Structure 1
Amino acid sequence: MERKNAWQKYTSEKDKKKVFKFAEDYRKFLSECKTERECVSFFIEKAEKAGYKNLDKIIKEGKKLKAGDRVYTANKGKEIILFNIGTESLENGINILGAHIDSPRMDLKQNPVFEDSDLAILDTHYYGGIKKYQWVTIPLALHGVMIKKNGESVIVNIGEDPSDPVFGISDLLIHLAADQMDKKGAKVIEGEDLNVIVGSIPEFSKSGKKEKEAVKANVLKLLKDKYGIEEEDFISAEIEVVPAGPARDFGFDRSMILGYGHDDRVCAYPSFMALVNCKEQLKKTACAILVDKEEIGSVGATGMESRFFENTVAELFNCLGDYSELKLRRALTNCKVLSSDVSAAFDPTYASAFEKNNSAYLGRGVVFNKYTGARGKGGSNDASAEYVGEIRGIMEKENVFWQTAELGKVDQGGGGTIAYIMGNYNMQVIDSGVAVLSMHAPCEIISKVDLYEALLGYEAFIKHA
């Protein structure tokens, strides 16, 4: 059953302006927030301006919460959870929007700086699923944090300002690439060859003599002069190598956005805004969970596998004066969740990888995936028919344009989300998000109308689920 194009809903200039205004705000967010830490800092600033209080501070001061309160808590600077407290007991469950804010990239190794053939180079380890050949010969930026021995934190952001230099990974010229061109795509560029070139001027001694590894020495001198950091400080650093430059409007009609990190910030941003925009008193508590580490399996303290969410709900119960272990277990079981993650958009250029009747399409609204996984649905949550029916009813009630999909042809590949982790608590969960072209590439493409319909869908969900 073919779904209608969502743009037909926005025929007047006034209605279109709403779509384009929200998309422009998102485009700026995507341009500014290329790491998990940057996303969390952005969300905290916006949340506090919208009246959200820091839950950690409330706990420390022994204060109580009540219906109507709006609170947030951040986990190690790389995960954030927000709540709009409802009138019903938490025991009845929470309506949850869960998305991730990490994206495929390259991370600097702990000892990254070396020199070879009069070039200063940074060694990397790629993060998440990437086609390695896509990351060569494009401008790259360095984002992250370095922690010095004395505990001082140094923020690094080089390559985004027009006055900044950019960095990059070289590729073999076509004239000498006969052997390279015979390799399989996965081997055209090897993981250990993702070396970022960062300098070529050597440092000379006062006598004018070139020192050993003089180019590396000169780069380290520049870093020390600008940031006050030593080579050893890379050991306690998290520096991410990401595409440089802002997200851009895409297409003559500006109907799309081209940028790095749509997966999954294109779902995280409307999830956050759905809570912020909700001014009415909700019956059930609403929550947005924006987590780290999804691209590598949701592991670690800031991934969805962590017990941070569960512990936070326990603290919330306590601040509401209603804590018991049994009520906590009931609350988790009674939650309803949209695991808000992107879907693969049908690409007519690569039509053979998709099954047309069960694919997501740009411009046809927010996407619902009953299941993800690979091969025989391995690793999938697989939402129940009853829950899918409930979600359908909510979307239709609020006139949200939506579509259903699965990830390509059977046995073609596969992928997963955080849905199964929420399902482990016996929650009702379905995957929901925005269709993306060129997913996991340095620059991905989304439709502005799909982004806006995702916002409307998430707003409808927290009100009516």
Structure 2
Amino acid sequence: MERKNAWEKYQGAKDQSLVMKFAEDYRRFLSANKTERECVSYFIEKAEKAGFRDLEEVIASGRRLSAGDRVYRQHMGKTLALFIIGSQSLAQGMNILGAHIDSPRMDLKQNPLYEDSDLALLDTHYYGGVKKYQWVTLPLALHGVIAKKDGSLVSVNIGEKPEDPVFGVSDLLIHLSARQLEKPGAKVVEGEALDVLIASRPLEDCDDQVKERVKANVLRILAEQYGVDEEDFLSAEIEVVPAGAARDYGVDRSMIMGYGHDDRVCAYPSFAAILASKAQERTQACLLVDKEEIGSVGATGMQSLFFENTVAELIAATEDYEEIKTKRALMNSMALSSDVSAAFDPNYPDVMEKKNSAYFGRGLVINKYTGARGKSGSNDASAEYMARIRRIFDDNEVYWQTAELGKVDQGGGGTIAYILGNYGMEVIDSGVAVLNMHAPWEIVSKVDLYEALLGYQAFLAAKEL
């Protein structure tokens, strides 16, 4: 069953300007926000301008919430939940958009800085599923924070401005790569070889007792520019990401190439949808979480109790609190797990099954199930819920398609859908198709991004699911 190309819906410059404007806003967001902390800070700033209040302040003041109130709550600067309170009791459920804002990358180890052969390097540990050989010989940037013992937080962002230096991981020259190229792809570049070269100039006018002078010069620069010392790396969170802005891709400018489409290409339209939404009967929620790429674990991942606890606080702030109301609110909710899907790549057709693949330009992708092999790790939405989602999208003229993540037994992947499903709520995966998924530079279609926005807006506004 072939779906129409969504570009046909936008004939003429006026209609396409809506797609292009939203895509440009997203491109700028993607270029400027490459970590979870940066995303949360950006979203909170925009949310407050749109009338959202910090739920922590509401709780502290003892004020009550009522229909139409807009609130948000963040956790550890890496996870964010936004709500528009509906006229119905929360116990009757919510319409939830859930996406993640972490992306594959490299993190600095706690003791990262060392010198070898008059070169200073930073030792890293890769985060999430990556093809390690893709991360060599690229211009890289450092983003993150350094927490000092006095309680102050130092922000780090080096490599994005045109005048900034960049960093990188070196690779073996082709002339000496005979044995390297005999290795399987997973071993061509080992994880412990992903060390970032950052300096080569020795410290001037130093004591003869200083043996590692290049490293000493790096520490001098860090002390002068950031007021930190080597020990402060122990309480730092520095992420190594591709340097540079996201770019229009293709001679027709129909696509965007950038770092972190997975899953910010779903998080951004999810956030935009709730920002523009009006109060409805059902409470609306947008949940943007961390740690999905490593199993949704930890205090800021979907497996934490952050969302459940926040729903309990909302109930306490809107009506008489009973624990059973929290359970009912979650079980009676409906959710879109907004995560990306693999786009069909004509360069690699063997891993895809054409009838059940996602294609660029054909709109928002619905994955009834993800997982691997025999649907292991999958949520597998009910047929009834699939039918409701079809109706919502069709009634609102949203272009959409269905897909699986490659051929059976070829591989697979997961999302936060099954974790939301643990509450007994109806959940289905719904996102944007991506080429080069998990590579340093991924590609998406602008029209698919815009159809995601329209689909998410229609879902939030749905009165009966």
TM-score bin (small chain) = over 0.9
Deviation at 1:206, TM superposition (A): 5.0
Residues 433 and 454 in structure 1, CA contact (< 8 A), matched pair in contact too: yes
Aligned to 2:120: 120
The one-letter amino acid of 1:229's match is V
Preserved CA contact (<8 Å) 1:204 1:211: no
Cα RMSD between the aligned structures? Answer: 0.8
Deviations 1:335-357 (A, max 9, x none): 10000000000000000010000
Q: Which residue of 1 aligns with 2:265?
A: 266
Q: Which residue of 1 aligns with 2:352?
A: 354
Q: Please tell me whether residue 71 in structure 1 is matched to residue 67 in structure 2.
A: no
Q: 2:257, 2:77 → 1: CA distance?
A: 27
Residue 129 of structure 2 is aligned to residue 129 of structure 1? yes
Equivalent residue, structure 2, for 1:363: 361
Structure 1's consecutive aligned runs of 4 or more residues displaced over 2 angstroms after TM superposition are 204-207
- Distance (whole Å) between structure 2 residues aligned to residue 213 and residue 372 of structure 1: 50
Contact 1:353-1:408 within 8 A present in 2 as well: yes
Match of 1:418 in 2: 416
**Do structure 1's residue 93 and structure 2's residue 113 form an aligned pair?**
no
Deviation at 1:40, TM superposition (A): 0.1
Q: Distance in 1 between matches of 2:378 and 2:366?
A: 14
| CA distance in 2: counterparts of 1:210 and 1:170, whole angstroms | 30
SS in 1 for 2:379: coil
Paired residue for 2:152? Answer: 152
What is the distance in 2 between the residues matched to 1:212 and 1:337? 58
Paired letter, 1:203: L
Answer yes or no: is 1:181 the counterpart of 2:181. Answer: yes
1:326 Cα shift?
1.2
Cα drift, residue 327 of structure 1: 1.3
Distance of 2:326 and 2:185 partners within structure 1: 49
1:246 aligns with 2:236: no
Q: How many residues align?
A: 463
Gaps of 5+ in 1: none
State the distance in 2 between where 1:325 and 1:229 align: 46
Deviations 1:210-241 (A, max 9, x none): 83010000011101100000000000000000
Aligned-pair CA distance for 1:203: 1.0
Q: Tell me, yes or no, if the aligned pair for 1:203 and 1:217 is still in contact at 8 Å.
A: yes
Per-residue deviation, residues 181-208 of structure 1 (Å, max 9, x unmatched): 101000000000000000000113357x
Cα deviation 1:317-340 (Å, max 9, x = unaligned):
011023211111111100100000
Higher mean Cα deviation, 254-263 or 326-335? 326-335
Q: How does 1:326-365 map to 2 (within 5 A)?
A: 326-365=324-363
Q: Secondary structure at the match of 2:62?
A: coil
Q: Secondary structure at the match of 1:91?
A: helix
Taking the aligned partners of 1:226 and 1:331, their CA distance within structure 2 comes to 49
Q: Partners in 1 of 2:50 and 2:14 — Cα distance?
A: 25
Q: Distance between the aligned counterparts of 1:206 and 1:329, measured in 2?
A: 65
1:394 to 381, 392, 398: 392
State the SS of the aligned residue for 1:178.
Answer: coil
Residue 282 of structure 2 corresponds to which residue in structure 1?
A: 284
What percent identity do the matched residue pairs reach?
69
Matches within 5 A, 1:211-250: 211-250=210-249
The answer to whether residue 444 in structure 2 is matched with residue 446 in structure 1 is yes
Distance 1:86 1:254 in 2: 40
TM-score (norm 2): 0.99
1:242, distance to aligned residue in structure 2 (A): 0.1
Q: 1:299 is paired with a residue of what secondary structure?
A: coil
Distance in 2 separating the partners of 1:343 and 1:204:
52
1:34 paired with 2:34, answer yes
**Cα separation, 2, equivalents of 1:23 and 1:337:** 24
Amino acid at match of 1:260: Y
AA matched with 1:253 = D
Deviation at 1:12, TM superposition (A): 1.8
**Cross-structure match for 1:375:** 373
Q: Secondary structure at the match of 2:39?
A: helix
CA contact (8 A) 1:203 1:210 kept: no
Aligned equivalents of 1:205, 1:9: Cα separation in 2: 68
Distance, in Å, in 1 between the alignment partners of 2:420 and 2:320 is 23
- The residue type equivalent to 1:394 in the other structure is I
One-letter code of the match for 2:344? F
Change (3 A) 1:85 1:113: same
Q: Which amino acid aligns with 1:129?
A: G
Partner of 2:459: 461
TM-score of the two chains, using structure 1 as the length reference: 0.99
* Alpha-carbon distance in structure 2 between the residues aligned to 1:409 and 1:146: 43
Native 8 Å contact 1:146 1:233 kept in 2: yes
Query: What is the one-letter code of the residue matched to 2:412?
Result: G
The residue number in structure 2 matching 1:304 is: 302
SS at match of 2:51: coil
Instruction: Please tell me the residue identity of whatever aligns with 1:122.
Output: L
